[in-house]
């Protein structure tokens, strides 16, 4: 019987397994995951996972996997990939044979070097267990230090403030959200955080870190001393490529795949946070995306191609972040943009469009309360996908509907 093994029981791996059955695949499916939980969504971890200590938001019930004859191997890790004999070795010593293999190994939080990473009060946020551990230390008037001004750090800061904690966020670069978010959008986010009492320190250089079982003491290069009950490190992530690399698969900022998510081995695919792939909309530029939507889209494409289809990655990158009452949404990639156009939507909401020299729309970044920018970002995403030049004046005018531009 044809068998498919999926390594990685996160959002991508779980949805790929379920999609295989939806596509009529009737062979054996084994889904291997290192956590004890079945696949769940990770975006809520920095929000409800912190504020309410909520249970994971599972993508399916355990019974659904049983009903679809999907074998779950939870609390298990793959330690070796035998490409010659098409088998995966687990940490238990068991070997799982496969006809086709999907690597959905995800990414892990980038940690601090040295012994500080082992301190019980130096934490990261990547799993449900991480969220519960952080929440244990968050009480009214507790002191939280966050290292890193990216999405994880900022979302955590917003959640901690809702619980009444004092928060200082340290960013080593001149501004927060320096990766993938325009400066004007980042400034709006920073202003909202500061209004809520978050102490944001940019250009922060940590000279010394003294961590004990009781507290954390950080000394910055300017002499400022930060004392906290807990330090959460949010300085990026690393794709989990070790299994693939040791097996000789091509690596390029992740497991390198083609536009069909196929690796350098024709019997192995990779999807989600662990892989890098070419984007047709951006001249074949190879990217690695860590986003909820990308994980879902990759799952469906991988499942289709594992059973003989030839689907390609065609979606425009999209991601979002909720912080306090603000929602930030970004469609596309701004790399290569030479002109910016702002569209004001009222009530403090606005969108910045990035275009190239010939008027091709590359990205749209919006921020505002609630769903204020959602519709226009969705339409902008469709404009980007169309590959057409757009009149900058029309983009700037709130009186001209983006839907009309799309239909033109």
pLDDT at residue 116, as a whole number: 56
Going by C-alpha positions, the residue among 273, 268, 262 that lies closest to residue 295 is: 273
**Residues 56-80: what's their mean pLDDT?**
96
Residue 346: pLDDT over 90: yes
CA angle 344, 345, 347 (to 5 degrees): 105
pLDDT tens digits, residue range 146-176? 999 999 999 999 999 999 999 999 999 999 9
Contact between 230 and 133 (Cβ < 8 Å)? no
pLDDT at residue 1, as a whole number: 55
**Residues 290-308: what's their mean pLDDT?**
96
pLDDT at residue 408, as a whole number: 79
pLDDT tens digits, residue range 103-117? 999 999 998 876 555
Domains with residue ranges and CATH for the chain: 3-108+237-306 (3.50.50.60), 111-233 (3.50.50.60), 325-407 (3.30.390.30)
Contacts of 146 (CB under 8 A, 6+ apart): 153, 156, 157, 167, 168, 169, 170, 231, 232, 234
Distances (CA, A) of 374 to 258, 325, 380, 381: 31, 14, 10, 11
Q: What is the DSSP letter of 243?
A: H
**pLDDT range class, residue 224, cuts 50, 70, 90:** very high
Q: Is 158 helix (H, G, I), strand (E, B) or coil?
A: helix
CA distance 408 to 404: 6
Q: Is 363 helix (H, G, I), strand (E, B) or coil?
A: strand
pLDDT at residue 357, as a whole number: 87
pLDDT at residue 287, as a whole number: 94
**Residues 230-251: what's their mean pLDDT?**
97
CA distance 379 to 243: 40
How high does pLDDT run on average in the chain? Answer: 94
pLDDT tens digits, residue range 375-401? 999 999 999 999 888 999 999 999 999
**Residues 216-232: what's their mean pLDDT?**
95
């Amino acid at each position: 019987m044809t068998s498919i093994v999926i390594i990685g029981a996160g959002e991508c791996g779980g949805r790929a397994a379920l999609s295989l059955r939806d596509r009529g695949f009737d062979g054996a499916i084994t889904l291997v995951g290192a956590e004890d939980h079945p696949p769940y969504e990770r975006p809520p971890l920095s929000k409800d996972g912190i504020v309410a200590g909520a249970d994971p938001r599972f993508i399916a019930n355990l019974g659904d996997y049983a009903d679809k004859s999907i074998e779950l191997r939870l609390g298990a890790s793959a330690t070796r990939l035998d490409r010659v004999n098409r088998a995966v070795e687990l940490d238990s010593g068991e070997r799982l044979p496969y006809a086709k293999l999907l690597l959905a190994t995800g990414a892990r939080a980038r940690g601090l070097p040295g012994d500080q990473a082992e301190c019980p009060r130096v934490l990261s946020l990547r799993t449900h267990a991480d969220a519960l551990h952080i929440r244990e230390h968050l009480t009214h008037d507790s002191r939280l230090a966050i290292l890193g001004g990216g999405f994880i750090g900022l979302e955590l800061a917003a959640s901690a403030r809702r619980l009444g904690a004092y928060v200082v966020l340290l960013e080593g670069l001149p501004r927060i959200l320096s990766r993938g978010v325009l400066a004007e959008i980042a400034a709006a986010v920073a202003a909202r955080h500061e209004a809520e009492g978050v102490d944001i320190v940019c250009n922060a250089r940590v000279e010394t870190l003294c961590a004990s079982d009781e507290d954390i003491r950080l000394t910055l290069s300017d002499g400022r001393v930060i004392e906290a009950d807990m330090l959460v490190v949010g300085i990026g992530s690393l794709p989990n490529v070790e299994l693939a690399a040791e097996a000789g698969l091509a690596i390029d900022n992740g497991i390198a795949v083609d536009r069909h998510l196929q690796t350098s081995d024709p019997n192995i695919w990779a999807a989600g946070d662990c892989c890098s792939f070419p984007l047709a909309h951006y001249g074949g530029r190879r990217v690695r995306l860590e986003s909820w939507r990308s994980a879902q889209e990759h799952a469906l494409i991988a499942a289709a191609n594992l059973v003989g289809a030839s689907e390609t990655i065609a979606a425009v990158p999209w991601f979002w972040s909720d912080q306090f009452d603000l929602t930030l949404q970004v469609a596309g990639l701004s790399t290569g943009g030479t002109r910016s156009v702002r569209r004001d939507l009222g009530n403090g909401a606005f969108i910045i469009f990035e275009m190239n020299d010939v008027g091709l729309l590359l990205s749209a970044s919006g921020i505002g309360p609630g769903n204020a920018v959602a519709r226009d970002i969705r339409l902008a995403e469709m404009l980007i996908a169309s590959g057409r030049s757009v009149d900058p004046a029309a983009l700037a005018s709130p009186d001209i509907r983006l839907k009309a531009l799309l239909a033109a």
